[in-house]
Structure formats: C-alpha cells, structure tokens
Chains A and B, each alone.
Chain A
C-alpha cells in the first residue's frame, strides 16, 4: 500500500483506562481522497480511536504516533484538531435548534470583524456552503424547523465551513430514513470527488459496501485487518473479521426446562418518540415460553430498547397497534404500573440513569417496585422491609457490609444484583433484561448469568437484550434479530452463529439469506 498518498496515519495507538486497555496497538491508514470505513462491534474501540484522533484524549494520554497531512501532530484538544482540518460529525447532532442555519454553520467560527458579526457576509458564505452539500433552504431558517436529514446536512456544512481536510462521520445514517440515507451517501460521493477525505463509522454493512473505498475492522481494541478494493471485501468478509473472536465459554451449565408459551406479542408497532415518520418498532411479533431464555440481538439504535420499553408501558413514542398475552390472557401494557401488574419486569440498560435512585439505600431499593406488598394500609413495615432486603442480599450474594448502605457505594455488578432484587420482588412472569451485564466485570457477569438461568428454571419467561453476541449465544435458548425496528430473524440456539446473526442484524429480511 503506497503510504506517500496517505493523509492520515495512526501508528501503534494504545490507550489505557484504569483497569482496561481500550486500544491496543491500533494502526489506521487513510489515503487522501478516499472514503474509509471503520467497522466493529459496540465497545470495540471505534469511538475511543476517534477521540484520540480529534484530541478529546490529548497527546500524552495515549501511546503511539499520529501523522496527519505529512506531519506528526500532537493535538491537545478538539480546537487544535479542527484547526488542522479534522472535523467529527457526531451521532447525536450538536446543533442549536433556536439558531439559524447560518448561525449554526459558523458557530464558534463567526464571520466578524472586531467582534462584530457581519451578517451579510455570514449569510452569503453560508449559502455557498449550503449549495455544496445540496441544502436548499434560506440561511436564516431556524434549525428546529428542519428535518433530521437536513440537520445532518447542516452538520456537514458546518464541517466544510471550517476548511475541513478529513471529515469523520459517526453513524451518519443511523437516525435517517431510507431516502435521506441514500441522499447522504450521494453527498459523500460528491465530497469525495471534491477531494475531501472521509472516515465513516457505521454498522450498516450494506452502506459500507456501497460507498467506501477501504475499511478497517477493529475488534476488542485491536485493529484486525484493513481491506480495500484490491483485496476485495463484501458483507460476509467484514462480518467474519468483526466477530472473529472465539466464543467466550464461561457460562454456567444450564439444562433448559421449556414449557408452554408464556408471553406472546403480535403486530407491535410503535412510533419513534422524536423522529417523525420513523417507526421504532415495526409489526414486531414474538413469543417466549416458560423457562425459556430468549435473546434479542441488534446493533445499537436498531430499536431493541424501544421495543422492550414500549412493552413495559413506558410512553416511549406512540403505540400504533399491537397485542400482547401473558399466560394466554390479553395483557394491558399501557402504563408501567399495568405492565408490572400484568407480570412484566424490565431491567433497563442504563442502571445509573434508569434503574436506580443512587441516593437510596440497598434496602429501600430492593422493595421499591413492589412496596405495597410489605405495606399494609400504605404504611411500610420496616421489619419486613429489612427481612426481604436481607433475604435477597443473601440469595444473590450482593457484596455489601450492610443493606443500609447506599446503592451508589456498590460496584456495577452488585448494583445490578440490587436492580435484579428489586424486580424479582415484584415476582414477575416475564423478565426483560436490557444489557444485563454492561459495565460489569467478568466474575460478576458469571454470577448474573447464573441468576438469569435460575430464574428461567423457575418457569419464568426471560428476555435478554444484548449487544454482545457471545453473551446471547451462550445464554439464550432462542435468538431474535432486530434491524431498524423490525424483527428480521429467529434462530434456535443450535443454528445461531455470530456470522448469521450479524448478517440478520445488519440487513433487512429480504436481503438476508434464509436461516439454515
């Protein structure tokens, strides 16, 4: 590979966090004028790598060298990397809704003389840049009046206004519908023909195949391989590289005892809470049997969480249609309270913001979702509260000196055990676990798996949503895949492999190969 036409070389980048090596000797070479994709599972280290590149992690906090545009660079912050011509367009749009397109384009980069903004010049230059990205609007239009697709264009225009040499797009189409996505890909093609180099982080392998010139796969913090048109690549080869890790075998032994259908959902359609005309769940239909652990595989943003939370009665977008049955009886899941009453429990993906009141104690958290059980006439029986919490502490082996300790003092694994305790005390029939082991160390993961399996053995229906395919493969009796809000496949444990799951997770039903 001729390196003289490389615009960016990141050599032997290693970034350590306390206890974790996030990037391990990563090398990335991007040629001038190409679109270079970076692929990898969630948590593989893509974002960390981009943060190193853009100076969010300043020079000195990582090992290795960065050569940009022919010179070694040592960015101390985002401002410096932007001055050098590297601009990131983030997944979450960073626009100010109340300001105009022109104001947003030149935010932090105002067209001014002696501190006074020249509005005529600002709008004239904004119009020029908007033409480049094909955005046909008045520069004075406020951002909040634009759709997400056009907002994405404003982000890119904003990058162009900064005299960008290397544009990094983080999941640029994840929030867009199909038409907008295609328009964006065309724009990227156009930028390439103007000589702007692009790095594109994406989960959508079909898009990568369609537009990128080369790609680098990152896995477990290591750069695995780089492919280009010469070596050739397609969705299959990318998937293989992405999941090439050997399956983690550290799962407790488990003999499933599967019974009748316990939880059944049909035609479940929910609108996205923020993006109009986008469905976060499209006609979802699935069932879970008593004693069964069912996995839901999907990439981030695929709509897994939205589906589960809408089932749990959380006003997450608007429900359009759908029916659910628990034990064969229609279940009313319109509010959280009713969902709990129907026998559902939902352990959210984000313990700290959704699962726990970090100001509370272990004891009080344990009983908090079913407080009325120990509160005759609305008065909490403190002795029963103590007994219940102590009972769960012992059974789940939550490591703490006392159940009067605050949940904030616990480690991630033990916090998760408290959240599990809280939901087990509601005595759920259907237990939905959203990323149950995120941020938990290996030992605690094993314990959580054991708990999940025991719960299933007791005849409960267990749903596990996870981004970690090995976890799903190790734990589930059956796995559904979700892509863009739709269930795209269903594989029994025996037939599931990381490759065929990944294929179903990254494309819609029609293009997916029929499962074995």
Chain B
C-alpha cells in the first residue's frame, strides 16, 4: 500500500486531476468514435495527431497564464488583468510587426519589455503602496484594455508573416525521410533518456545520503509508465500530416514549465513565494523581504501574460480589441483545479498545467462532440466546483489526503509504545555545537 502511495505521489488532489484528465481523454476518445458511428475507440478524434496539435496550439496561452497565476495565488493574491495585459502587449507587437515591419525577434523583445513595464507598474502598487492585488489588477484590467484600444483604434491589427511561426509553426523536417518528423522523434527520445537517467541519478544520490529509498520496482514502474506516455505523445506528434509535427508553442511551453517548476520548487526565490503565501508574518520574521516577493511575482505574471498575448497574436495572425477577455478566469480556474488554495501557500506549476489541460481537453472534447458553447460553460463551471469541493471535503475530514489516511490506518498500532520519561528523553538530546551546522551542510 505504501508503495502504491509512492507510485502516485502524496498529493491526492493532483493525483485526482491526472486521473480525471486520463478519464476525460478516454471518455471523449470513445464518445467521438461512437458519434462518428465508427469503431469504438479506434475512430475517435481526440488522440489523433491534428487534434493533439490543436490542443497544444489552441490552449497554450491559458497554460502560460496558469504558470504565472499559480505563483500569484500561492502568494495569496489574484491577478485579474492578465487578459488585458496580453491584449495590450498583443496590439503593441502586432503594430510593431504589421505596421512598422519590424523583424519577429525585435517584436518579441518589445513585447517582453512591455510586459515587464506593465508588471512593474502593478507590482509597485501591490508591493510598495499596499493596494490589494484584486483592486490593482482590476484597475489594470481596465487600463490595459483601454490602452490596447487606443493603440489599435478599436480595430484589429494584423501581424507580419514572419511572426506567425510561433503560434502556428511546427518543428521543421530535417534529415532522412523516416515517415516521421525526425526532430520530434529526437525530442521524445531525449525526454525519455532524461527521465531514465534522472531516476538513476536520484536513486544513487539518495543511497549515498542514506535517506529512505522507494523500492526499485516502484521507481521502475513509474518511470516506465511515464516513458510510455511520452513515447505515445511523440508518436502522435511525429506522425502529423506533412508540414506539421510538434508545435513551436509546445517547445515554448515545455521550456516555461520546466523553468518555473524548477524555480518554484528548487530555488531560494521559489521557497520565498511559498513562505510568504503560507504565513507572511513568519516569513518576515525569517528574514524574507515580502514586498520584494510581491513585486516580482506580480511583475512576472505580467511578463507571462505578455508571452501568452504574443503566442495568441502569432496564432491569430492579428491582435484585436477584444482579445484576452475572460482569459484571467480560465487561468484562475486552471490553478484552482490544479490544487491551489484560495488562502494561498499551496499550489504547484505542474498541478496548474494539469488543471489547464483538464479544461482544454474538456473544451476540445465538447467541441468535437459539437456541443454548444453554452453547455461547455456549464460543464467547466461544474468541474471547477467539484474539484475544489473535493479538496475542501477531504480537508474537513481532517485528513491531509485519502492515501495518507490509508497509510495511517495501516501503521495503526505502531505509535503506542511505552513513553520515555522526560529525563530519559532529554538525556539523548544533542544540540549541534556552533560549528556543527557546517558539518551538516557539507554532507558529513
């Protein structure tokens, strides 16, 4: 039982969402095959090259926003302005590209710069003036929408051809003709190799450090399963119709997810976000500059909104006056579906991406089924509600997670041993002498 827990990881909400995602994919694959009156499963329209490409291309902007939004929400804030900031950056980029004819990379630099400016503006009000983020970004939502319409004269501005490869481009064809897209294959193989290598390295280091190791079969099965998923995804993308393969946007996404997952979980700055979000007072008393954290997280969100805006503009080949309306809601919903808490301190980048994928697959599946948009809204709303309700419910039970509860039941009687007297207990305590911390830090 313990091993199964290790296999799925400790986070029940995240596990639940991965499971829900898989279930949704299976459901829509079967449902679309039945609707087309084809062979059940095999004739489904979900797991085919063009559709997975569409999902990545069509929903990348939500996922990019979700990455930034989860950090904002961990910090206990909210950002309502992301759609407007995306639209503002979009129109600037479209003007630079389409109207002034600047090359694509200059446009991207300008776009990121605009995002940074917008973010610094909002970060300033939130961190150093102390205006609640809700208010600051509500104002930002209106301000940047207005700026978009002033720059674009309430009209749609088209971009130059050279910018469209980001939102609509694919990995190019190179090398021998294999019947697959070679670069996509290479990417998949690299991913698999990395997964296997990192598992081995981790086990080796854990063994050296003397920490408890999951049984070999657990790690083995897990990495094997992930590799199968990666391999299958690679196969799907590599067999797209001629000229299509793994989308450029997908690469952008992978880079961003890896970068931010690393940043939030492995760096001092990332820890600071969780610390301030979890208990601002305690974080401050631990020497963390909470205002600086506020500033940079808000600024980062706007920069990611800029990326989302550019991805969208590049795919739409134009920036319009109503771009980005309602995006903040999709991003926020993704983050909460992905396991973040309204009160802050909790959430992961990976979880939010899974949340965004759940929303994307739901949308896509319902569209493939030709369901009206109104139905999609209702279903999405219910999914958000159920996901969070599930979380609230499991917390009310006083259990950190379902699996944790099972584990505790199994351990059961173990803790009931004879209690040592205080003297006995204290006799064994050894506080590290002043220089012992260095020993501990250096590994022996």
Binding site for B on A (CB under 8 A): 250, 252, 312, 314, 335-337, 339-340, 346, 348, 353-360, 364, 368-375, 378-380, 382-384, 386-388, 390-392, 395-397, 401, 404, 406, 409, 422, 424-425, 427, 442-447, 449-451, 454-455, 458-460
Contact = CB atoms under 8 A, between A and B. Distances in A.
Contact of A387 (B209, B279, B422, B432): B209
Interface stretch (B138-146, B182-190, B283-291): B283-291
13 contacts: A340-B287, A348-B282, A353-B281, A354-B285, A360-B274, A364-B271, A373-B437, A380-B267, A380-B271, A422-B286, A446-B425, A447-B429, A450-B426
Contacts of A353: 279, 281-282
B289 A337 contact: yes
A459 B436 CA distance: 13
B429 A454 contact: yes
Nearest to B211: A386
Nearest to A441: B422
Nearest to A449: B426
Contact of A395 (B266, B279, B429): B429
A459 B434 contact: yes
B40 interface: no
Nearest to B419: A443
Given A397-B425, A442-B422, A460-B434, A384 B211 contact: no
B282 A395 contact: no
A357 B282 contact: yes
B283 to A, nearest CB: 7
Contacts of A425: 437, 440
Given A443-B425, A446-B423, A372 B268 contact: yes
B431 A360 contact: no
Interface in B363-397: none
Interface string B267-283: 11101001100110111
A424 B434 CA distance: 9
A196 B289 CA distance: 52
Interface in B234-285: 262, 266-269, 271, 274-275, 278-279, 281-285
Contacts of A369: 286-287
B268 A358 contact: no
B400 interface: yes
A358 B279 contact: yes
A80 B120 CA distance: 55
A336 B284 contact: yes
B418 interface: no
Interface string B191-216: 00000000000000110010100000
B431 A455 contact: yes
> Which 9 residue pairs spanning A and B have beta carbons closest together?
A357-B278, A446-B422, A450-B426, A443-B422, A454-B431, A357-B279, A359-B345, A337-B287, A359-B278
Contacts of B434: 427, 458-460
Nearest to A377: B267
A325 to B, nearest CB: 19
A387 B439 CA distance: 10
B416 to A, nearest CB: 13
Contacts of B429: 395-397, 447, 450-451, 454
A396 B281 contact: no
A447 B424 CA distance: 10
Contact of B285 (A314, A379, A443): A314
B271 A358 contact: no
Contacts of A406: 400
Contacts of A364: 271, 274
B437 A424 contact: yes
